[in-house]
Amino acid sequence: MILAFIANSLVVILAVVIHYEFLFRLTQLLKVAKIRHRLRIALGVCGALTAHAVEVWIFSFAYYLMHHLDGWGHLEGNFDGSLLDCVYYSFTSFTTLGFGDIVPFGHVRFLTGIESLTGLVLITWTASFLFVEMQRYWDSK
């Protein structure tokens, strides 16, 4: 149980650090970019979506490893154990969509719950970031 807590915490910390770095670099880029205001916003949105996709893949690798290693639990249902199935499962967990066609068992359940919470926080952080950028660069003419 302690090892699962530590592993899950490391995955979450990695996702948060990646998100912070993406948003920090986007802020720096948007400040110096010599492009129109609308394109700055589009660049911000694309950068944020890329950050979320990278974070989902981080969780996907954790699911893949946990599923294939003994003692971590497993995923069942419409699931064949492939990395792409783990990516699909991670996207539905990260966005809190949760179709329910794949079900976690064992310690992997805890990663599913914390991924949903992490996804909610990071998506909200992105919305706040984009709102501030839109306020800063929005063309009011």
Return the pLDDT at 137. Answer: 67
Q: Which long-range contacts (CB under 8 A, 24 or more apart) does 82-86 make?
A: 86/60, 86/61
Return the pLDDT at 33. Answer: 84
Nearest Cα residue to 56 out of 117, 10, 107, 119: 119
Return the pLDDT at 141. Answer: 47
Domain 2-137 is of which CATH architecture?
Answer: Orthogonal Bundle (1.10)
Kindly report the backbone phi and psi dihedral angles of residue 105, in degrees, each rounded to the nearest multiple of 5, phi listed first: -130, 145
Q: What pTM, to 2 d.p., does this model score? A: 0.93
Segments of the chain scoring below 50 in pLDDT: 141
Neighbouring CB atoms inside 10 A of 37's CB total: 16
